[in-house]
């Protein structure tokens, strides 16, 4: 069963580099994860402009940025797929248009995300569309149990 709080985040329009819903009128995948974590778990993560893929961006340099980012410095531990079962408030790093897509685990095998051309949705992670796209699971040290 999905938590009721996700209803506040389903249907948000995609906006490239969207980090602040009021300012930008929509969010990208990182902006959606950032908003939900802040409002629902009290976890504040940086805006990180450019962390999500956008049209015309050099994918190689973005991949290097993501993989070299010091997640531990801001309280995150990255786990490889299969090493842990994704839990509520884990950030999922997914291969989609290159390895630059993020979603938020909301429990029960569901995750919340938004992508270009679609409003934000909750989807099951074990579907044909997503089950082989998980690159990593980021778990924050202060994630509520």
Q: What is the pLDDT of residue 17?
A: 84
> Average per-residue pLDDT in the chain?
83
3-state SS, the chain, equals CCCHHHHHCCCCCECCCCCCHHHHCCECHHHHHHHHHHHHHCCCCCCCCCCCCCCCCCHHHHHHHHHHCCHHHHCEEEECECCECCCCCCEEEECECCECEEEEEEECCEEEECCCCCCCEEEECCCCCCCCCEEEEEEECCCCC
Report the CATH superfamily, name and number, of domain 4-140.
Answer: endopeptidase domain like (from Nostoc punctiforme) (3.90.1720.10)
pLDDT tens digits for range 34-62: 999 999 999 888 777 666 655 655 555 55
Encode pLDDT of 104-137 as tens digits.
Answer: 999 999 999 999 889 999 999 999 999 899 988 9
Q: Could you tell me which residue, 98 or 83, shows the higher pLDDT?
A: 83
Domain boundaries, the chain: 4-140
- Kindly report the pTM of this predicted structure: 0.84
């Amino acid at each position: 069963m999905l938590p009721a709080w996700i209803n506040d985040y389903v249907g948000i329009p995609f906006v490239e580099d969207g980090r602040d819903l009021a300012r930008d009128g929509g969010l990208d995948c990182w902006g959606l994860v950032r908003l939900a974590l802040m409002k629902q778990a009290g976890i504040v993560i940086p805006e990180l402009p450019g962390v999500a893929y956008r049209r015309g961006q050099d994918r190689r340099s973005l991949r290097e940025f993501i993989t070299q980012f010091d997640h531990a410095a801001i309280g995150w531990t990255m786990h490889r797929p299969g090493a842990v079962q994704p839990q509520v408030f884990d950030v999922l790093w997914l291969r989609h248009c290159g390895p630059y897509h993020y979603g938020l685990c909301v429990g029960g095998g569901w995750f919340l995300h938004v992508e270009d051309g679609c409003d934000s949705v909750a989807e099951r992670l074990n579907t044909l569309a997503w089950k082989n796209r998980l690159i990593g699971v980021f778990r924050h040290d202060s994630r509520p149990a």
